[in-house]
Structure 1
Amino acid sequence: MGVTPIHAIAPEHATHHGTPRCSACSLRAICMPPELTADEFARLDALICTTRPIRRGEALYRTGDTFQSIYAVRAGSFKTVVMHRDGREHVTGFQIAGDPLGLDGICAGKQNCDAIALEDSVVCIIPFAQLEAICREMKPLQHHIYQLMSGEIVRESRQMLLLGTMTAEQRVATFLLNLSKRFKARGFSSAEFHLRMTREEIGCFLGMKLETVSRMFSKFQREQLVQANGKMVRIVDPEGLAQV
C-alpha cells in the first residue's frame, strides 16, 4: 500500500508510525540540546506526537508548499532539490538520520525546495507554531533552533566555497570526509558506509558531471585512498584523503 507525499499536511492528519519520544531516542544528542531536563523532554514528547513514513522516491514536501512544520529525519535519508527553469535538477543537500528538514520554509512561509526520500525513511513532524510557543519558555531549545538555522547558513556558505574554488578532486574528497564525520557523530562507522545517493546525484550536488564523479572515485581507488564497491564505500586512508 503506497504512502502519498506530504503536501502541507497538518499534524492531526499525519500518519502515526508508533509514538516518537525524544527522551528515549538514540538521536536526541543530535536533534536536541543536551541540557534539557526530564520535565522539558516530557513536554517535547507531547509536542512531537507523530511520525511519517516516506517511501523511496516520494516527496516529504514540494517547492511552494505552505510551511507548517519542520522535520527531523528519524530513519533513512533525503535529498533536497531545486529545479531549474529548463527542468534540470540541482541537489542542494543530503540529509541523514538526525538532520533537520524544512527550515528554509520559515523565511517566506513556503517551502523553497523539494525534499525527496533516497530510501524508505521516517521523519518526526514538529509543528512550528507550537515549537515557537514552547521555545519562549525553554531557552535551551530556543538557542538550539537558532544553532540549527545558523548551521544551515554555514553549510550553504561552505557549499558556495566548494563550488567556486575547489577542483573536482577536492570536491569529492570533501564530500566523502563530510559524510564520514556525520556518520561518526551518529555512532556509525566513519570508515565504511553505504551511499544512498547515486553518482549522478553526487554530481548534481557538487556541480560536476556523472563521468567526472566516477573518474574521481576511480582515481582515489587507484591511489588506495578509497575502496568503492557499488554504493558501498570504505575510506582506506582518511589522512591521505584530507590532504587532497
Structure 2
Amino acid sequence: MPPISASDRVHLELIKTACSNCNLRELCLPLGLKKEELAKFDDLVSTRKRIMRGDHLYHTDQSFDSIYAVRSGFFKTCVLDEAGREQVTGLHMTGELLGLDGISTETHSCNAVALVDSEVCTIPFSHLEDLSREIHTLQKHFHKVMSREIIRDHGVMLLLGTMRAEERLAAFLLNLSQRFTARGYSPAEFNLRMTRVEIGSYLGLKLETVSRAFSHFQESGLIEVQHKHIRILDIPGLKKLMVHQQPHNVRKSCRRGFL
C-alpha cells in the first residue's frame, strides 16, 4: 500500500469527527463526561455522512444499525399512507438525533429526508450499547433522549387533537424559536426549511389553511414573512394565541414546546 501523502493526511484530519472538540457536544452529549470518556466517544463516532437536499438518510423498512446526530442542516421524517400520500412526522435540526425509530424492530419505521444539504455523525448502535454499559452517564443520557421523543410524540397528538389551525401554527413557530435559541441563533428570525405543504402535513392542515394562517399572522403584526424567511415580531402575542382557552394539560404541553 502506498504511503499516505501530506495532503491526504490533512484531508483525513478535516473529516475526522471529534466530539470532544465539537461545538454541538452540549446538545448531543451528557454533561460531566471525563476526558478519557470523551475520547472513547470520539472513537465511537468515527464517520460523518453528507446528505444532499432531497436525498434519504434512510428509508422505511431499511435495516437499522446506527443512529445519527445532525451536525448541520435539517431533516424531515415522514411515512406514506396506503394511497401513497406523504405524512410528515417530524422536523430535526442541528444537534438532534435521528434513527431512534429503528431500535425496537431493528428496521426503520419512517423515511428521513434532507431538507437542505446536511451532514450527520454516524453512531453504530451496537457499539453505543457497549460503551453505555461502561459509561453509565452516557446510558442515562440516551434513555432521557428516547423518553423525550416519546413525550414529544404524545404532546403532538394532544395539541393537534385540541388546537385550532392558527394555534397549531403558532405552537410550531414558537417551538422552532425555542430550538434555534438553544443553538445560539436568533429566537425571532430564521428560515423555514419545510415547504408550506410539509408544514400542513405535519400540523394536520391543508395548504390553503396554512397560507391563510400565515397571512393572518402577518396582518395582525405577529410576524413578517418573505418567502421562507420568518421574523417573529410579537412572541408574547403568539404565546397568548397558542394557549388561549386551552385546558391546563394542553397549556403545560405548549410551554414545554413539544411541537
Deviation at 1:17, TM superposition (A): 7.5
The answer to whether the 8 Å contact 1:17/1:50 transfers is no
Which position in structure 1 is the counterpart of 2:234? 237
Deviations 1:65-96 (A, max 9, x none): 01100000000000000100101100000000
Which position in structure 1 is the counterpart of 2:213? 216
Q: 1:109 aligns with which of 80, 84, 106?
A: 106
Which position in structure 2 is the counterpart of 1:162? 159
Distance 1:112 1:44 in 2: 27
Distance 2:187 2:35 in 1: 31
Aligned residues: 230
Q: Is 2:206 the counterpart of 1:200?
A: no
Q: For residue 81 of structure 1, what is the amino acid of its counterpart?
A: C
Deviation at 1:43, TM superposition (A): 0.5
Distance 1:22 1:133 in 2: 18
Tell me the C-alpha RMSD between the 2 structures.
Answer: 1.2
Summarize the Cα distance change of 1:17–1:153 in structure 2 as closer, same or farther, 3 Å threshold: farther
Q: 1:177 aligns with which of 170, 174, 182?
A: 174
Which position in structure 2 is the counterpart of 1:11? none
Q: Residues 29-44 of structure 1 correspond to what in structure 2 (within 5 A)?
A: 29-44=26-41
Q: Residues 1-244 of structure 1 correspond to what in structure 2 (within 5 A)?
A: 18-244=15-241
Deviations 1:128-171 (A, max 9, x none): 00000000010110001001100110110111012111000100
Q: For residue 22 of structure 1, what is the amino acid of its counterpart?
A: C
SS at match of 2:134: coil
Deviation at 1:200, TM superposition (A): 0.6
Gaps of 5+ in 1: 1-15
Distance 2:62 2:28 in 1: 24
Distance 1:197 1:167 in 2: 21
TM-score (norm 1): 0.93
Distance 1:84 1:162 in 2: 22
Q: For residue 121 of structure 1, what is the amino acid of its counterpart?
A: S
Structure number with the higher helix fraction is 2
Q: For residue 240 of structure 1, what is the amino acid of its counterpart?
A: G
The answer to whether the 8 Å contact 1:17/1:51 transfers is no
Deviations 1:161-199 (A, max 9, x none): 121110001000000000000000011111100111101
SS at match of 2:214: helix
SS at match of 1:136: helix
Q: For residue 235 of structure 1, what is the amino acid of its counterpart?
A: I
Runs of 4+ aligned structure 1 residues displaced above 2 Å come to none
Gaps of 5+ in 2: 1-12, 242-259
Q: Which has the larger radius of gyration?
A: 2
SS at match of 1:23: helix
